Amino acid sequence: MIETTTDPSALRRRCDDERKKGQRVGFVPTMGFLHHGHVSLIERCRDVADFVVVSIFVNPTQFGPNEDLESYPRDAEGDRDKCQKAGADLIFAPPVSAIYPEGHRTSVSVQDLGDGLCGAKRPGHFDGVCTVVSKLFNMVGPAVAFFGEKDYQQLQIIKQMTRDLDFPIEVLSGPTIREPDGLAMSSRNAYLTPEHRRQATCLNRGLTAIADAARKAPLPASRAVQIAKEIVEAENDARIDYLEIRHSGNLQPSDQVGLGQSVVAIAVFFGSTRLIDNRVI
């Protein structure tokens, strides 16, 4: 049976024990309600690490006041089963008080990279992400940590934070895992009604249309946005939160889709459910 702990001190001791034996510790941070995207990250981590830790923690500091903290889907038993089958060695599932004890006043912020896209739409979100990830990095002390490319802006911010704060950690990524119809896997897909689930494939269809057009000829950003916008807005219940072309490295706005240097990022609401996706082109 896979090991589980809720205590940061016990987590540190366990990881220290493995390091003393010469084992390479790997880490996959999650908010639980695991799907095949998470599983693929655990499996990738298993390939390069000797001892794999998965954290399951719904982090309150990355949720806004009107967001879905309380209703965020949870499945402790299912998560434990998926972690074990994917090859994880230890689950860290702390209570909020273990991560943010009384008197906690420190936060971590990465400038510029979090100003646009999800950062602009969800103020304080990435400060919450960086704070919890830096705390988890300190608790686990991994040699390598894995994050999903579906959260592309988050991935770039975590890489920047890791460099800037001199964490001795290799940050690696895994590709977006999709359903057979192209919808990016996400824990929030569970919120979708059957009709919204059908319509939600428009995100990937819009991104694919931009990628196809960009391979044929230079593509101005304004035209790229229009291509995807027409596809998304053809769905009755889709409401675009943002649809932007950015440089893939520094996330600054780009006026043209360039092969190998652009990321198309999109967020769309279906009712109160917000889905994100992206495509590096």
Q: Which residues are registered as beta bridge partners of 264? A: 245, 279
Domain ranges in the chain are 3-174, 187-280
Give the span between the Cα atoms of 71 and 272, in whole angstroms: 12
Residue 260 scores a pLDDT above 80: no
State pLDDT tens for residues 90-135.
999 999 999 999 999 999 999 999 999 999 999 999 999 999 999 9
Q: Are 3-174 and 187-280 in the same CATH fold? A: no
Does the pLDDT value for residue 13 go beyond 80? yes
Superfamily of the domain at 3-174:
HUPs (3.40.50.620)
38 is catalytic: yes
Distance separating alpha carbons of residues 117 and 72, to the nearest angstrom: 22
Which CATH architecture does the domain made up of 187-280 adopt? 2-Layer Sandwich (3.30)
Q: What is the pLDDT of residue 2?
A: 96
Q: Which of 36, 38, 104, 247 is catalytic?
A: 38
Residue whose token pair is 């906690």? 104
- pLDDT category, 218, cuts 50, 70, 90? confident
Confidence of residue 71 (pLDDT cuts 50, 70, 90): very high
pLDDT in tens, 191-202: 999 999 999 999
Query: pLDDT over 90 for what percent of the chain?
Result: 96
